[in-house]
């Protein structure tokens, strides 16, 4: 099958001097990009990379990271991207659960991270990774099978450990081509890469523009998160498209006095991961003169399953996530996997080309979530999302979860993962994590803890959690309890905690009430 790297190579052949990447270090043409991809792919082939090989990419944000991922695909292998700013212990857990066979990294990071990947790493900053015969890679590998593994991405695990989702080449290829086609990407597109590496959204906003022959602008993410430098980047590089921004970030920009200027020139803004309603309620749609698209979809279904093009006068009373993308089927089903009546609430079950292979090493969880599609052709499967929705005039209306998982900063989070990390602290006896919402509609986590914590500060708990958890899993508040409230069945009373703890009020049933820590 054809991959997005084949399209990048075709652009290099047709327009060799066209700019592919803009970085702080200068521009890279499509010809230069393909030369570097093939050079690194040749090194990977020598190291045995091929079908079903998982190449962990621990490379700082920039051109080298783009080259490393594309080189793995060029070999017919799979990639697992890592955010090198996350704690080393967290990265080690990801490469273990993801089954990494090869590590692509830099000399400095190889020593600092010391990741448990077999064999010596391929160092992207060493001459042997840049000087190999570049023309040999494409000729030495057969096109990947659509059923072969393309990438590994992680989602929060129900047991406290991240779960590795296995996505195949056919799913990735179909999705990237949909994005380029449906959103009208092409050589005139200038996309600003925003999503951090290690999250599947970064695959979309990195490679969809390159597949379409556009220009990708790669800047330090810390700059992009400051309104002044974000707006300056959009203007300086004549950016036309943002393909992966969260509603929280959009709402943050909308609150600025110069918000309209920050969005000026953008022809396309694609948002996903959270409710878009706070942004729309704040009048955000009026700030964007180009198209605004609200996307919905889980990691287990190749990033996106539905999309809604937000009209100039949006409905702010509902979370409309729209209609299925090409090749995807969405069904609203009850617990028995039967269709719910029109207008009724059902679980969102997704089928079609985007459905992942399953979770690596978790057969029971895979069987629970990836089920046969009773209404599809033989062999068809559905992914049970755990999300609730109803059908409306504009497509699906998202209504929340039917389990404990929540959305934080665009990431689906299971509180069990944070609870497990808290319980690893020697002074924490019990831990229950609930979700709260601030006055802008942004979700955050609240940790309720018991134990001998009189001299353990919030800062100390954050340092402890920071050794194993990424920033989006860090609780905003810690509520100390003398005793954890329980239900009649003896389980932690999460409803009581969620209702009282979010407001910082004492929690009923404790010995001496609650003591709430400060906010970040």
Tell me how far CA of residue 335 lies from CA of 166, 287, 386, 509, in angstroms: 25, 41, 11, 34
Name the one residue in this structure whose structure tokens are 């999250």.
199
Displacement of CA 268 from its chain's centroid (Å) = 20
Dist CA 91 CA 114 (whole Å): 10
Dist CA 452 CA 60 (whole Å): 40
Q: Which residues contact 423 (CB under 8 A, 6 or more apart)?
A: 430, 431
Dist CA 234 CA 247 (whole Å): 18
pLDDT tens-digit profile, the chain (520 residues): 899 999 999 999 999 999 999 999 999 999 999 999 999 999 999 999 999 999 999 999 999 999 999 999 999 999 999 999 999 999 999 999 999 999 999 999 999 999 999 999 999 987 555 445 555 565 667 889 999 999 999 987 555 578 999 999 999 999 999 999 999 999 999 999 999 888 899 999 999 999 999 999 999 988 998 999 999 999 999 999 999 998 878 888 888 899 999 999 999 999 998 788 878 888 899 999 999 999 999 999 999 999 999 999 999 888 899 999 999 999 999 999 999 998 899 999 999 999 999 999 999 999 999 999 999 999 999 999 999 999 988 899 998 777 667 777 767 777 878 887 898 899 998 888 898 888 777 788 999 999 999 999 999 999 999 998 888 889 999 999 988 887 654 557 877 888 765 444 444 443 333 444 432 2
pLDDT at position 158 is 55
Cβ–Cβ under 8 Å, residues 344 and 390:
yes
Cβ–Cβ under 8 Å, residues 80 and 97:
no
Domains of the chain in sequence order: 1-19+26-144 (3.40.50.980), 319-401 (2.30.38.10), 414-516 (3.30.300.30)
pLDDT at position 136 is 53
Tell me how far CA of residue 427 lies from CA of 17, 391, 417, 423, 448, in angstroms: 60, 48, 18, 8, 13
Helix (H) / strand (E) element for 267: namely none
Dist CA 299 CA 70 (whole Å): 20
Nearest to 443 by CA among 419, 476, 421, 465: 476
Tokens in use for 497? 């905690």
pLDDT at position 129 is 52
Which DSSP category does 129 fall into? G
pLDDT at position 503 is 44
pLDDT at position 36 is 96
Tell me how far CA of residue 64 lies from CA of 132, 299, 400, in angstroms: 16, 25, 38
Cβ–Cβ under 8 Å, residues 276 and 290:
no
In sequence order, the β-bridge partners of residue 248 are none
pLDDT at position 85 is 92
What are the φ/ψ torsions at residue 88 (nearest 5 degrees)?
A: -55, -35
Cβ–Cβ under 8 Å, residues 501 and 507:
yes
């Amino acid at each position: 099958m054809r991959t997005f790297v084949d399209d990048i190579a075709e652009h290099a052949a047709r327009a060799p001097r066209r700019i592919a990447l803009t970085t702080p270090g200068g521009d890279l043409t499509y010809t230069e990009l393909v030369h570097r991809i093939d050079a690194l792919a040749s090194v990977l082939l020598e190291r045995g990379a091929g079908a079903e090989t998982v190449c962990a990419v621990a490379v700082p944000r920039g051109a080298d990271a783009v080259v490393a991922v594309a080189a793995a695909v060029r070999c017919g292998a799979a990639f697992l991207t890592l955010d090198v700013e996350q704690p080393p212990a967290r990265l080690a857990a990801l490469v273990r659960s993801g089954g990494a066979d090869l590590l692509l990294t830099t000399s400095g990071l190889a020593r600092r991270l010391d990741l448990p990947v077999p064999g010596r790493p391929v160092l992207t900053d060493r001459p042997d990774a840049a000087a190999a015969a570049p023309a040999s890679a494409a000729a030495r590998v057969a096109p990947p099978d659509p059923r072969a593994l393309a990438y590994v991405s992680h989602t929060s695990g129900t047991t406290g450990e991240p779960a590795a989702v296995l996505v195949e080449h056919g799913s990735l290829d179909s999705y990237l081509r949909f994005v380029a086609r449906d959103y009208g990407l092409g050589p005139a597109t200038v996309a600003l890469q925003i999503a951090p590496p290690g999250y599947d959204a970064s695959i979309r906003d990195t490679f969809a523009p390159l597949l379409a022959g556009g220009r990708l602008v790669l800047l330090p993410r810390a700059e992009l998160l400051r309104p002044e430098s974000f707006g300056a980047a959009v203007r300086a590089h004549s950016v036309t498209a943002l393909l992966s921004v969260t509603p929280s970030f959009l709402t943050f920009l909308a609150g600025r006095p110069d918000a309209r200027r920050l969005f000026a020139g953008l022809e396309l803004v694609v948002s996903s991961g959270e409710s878009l309603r706070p942004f729309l309620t704040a009048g955000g749609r009026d700030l964007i003169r180009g198209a605004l698209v609200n996307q919905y979809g889980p990691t287990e279904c190749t990033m996106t399953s539905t999309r809604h093009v937000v009209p100039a006068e949006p409905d702010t009373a509902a979370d409309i996530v729209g209609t299925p993308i090409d090749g995807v089927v969405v069904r609203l089903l009850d617990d028995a996997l039967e269709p719910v009546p029109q207008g009724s609430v059902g679980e969102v079950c997704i089928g079609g080309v985007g459905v992942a292979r399953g979770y690596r090493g978790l057969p029971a969880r895979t069987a629970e979530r990836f089920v046969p599609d009773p209404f599809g052709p033989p062999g068809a499967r559905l992914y049970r999302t755990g999300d609730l929705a109803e059908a409306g005039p504009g497509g699906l209306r998202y209504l929340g979860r039917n389990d404990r998982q929540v959305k934080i900063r665009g990431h689906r989070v299971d509180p069990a993962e944070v609870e497990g990390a808290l319980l690893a602290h020697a002074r924490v006896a019990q831990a229950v994590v609930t979700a709260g919402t601030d006055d802008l509609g942004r979700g955050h986590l609240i940790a309720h803890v018991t134990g001998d914590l009189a001299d353990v500060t919030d800062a100390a708990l954050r340092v402890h959690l920071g050794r194993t958890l990424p920033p989006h899993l860090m609780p905003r508040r810690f509520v100390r309890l003398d005793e954890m409230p329980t239900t009649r069945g003896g389980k932690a009373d999460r409803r009581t905690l969620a209702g009282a703890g979010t407001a910082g009020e004492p929690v009923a049933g404790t010995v001496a009430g609650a003591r709430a820590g400060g906010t970040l």
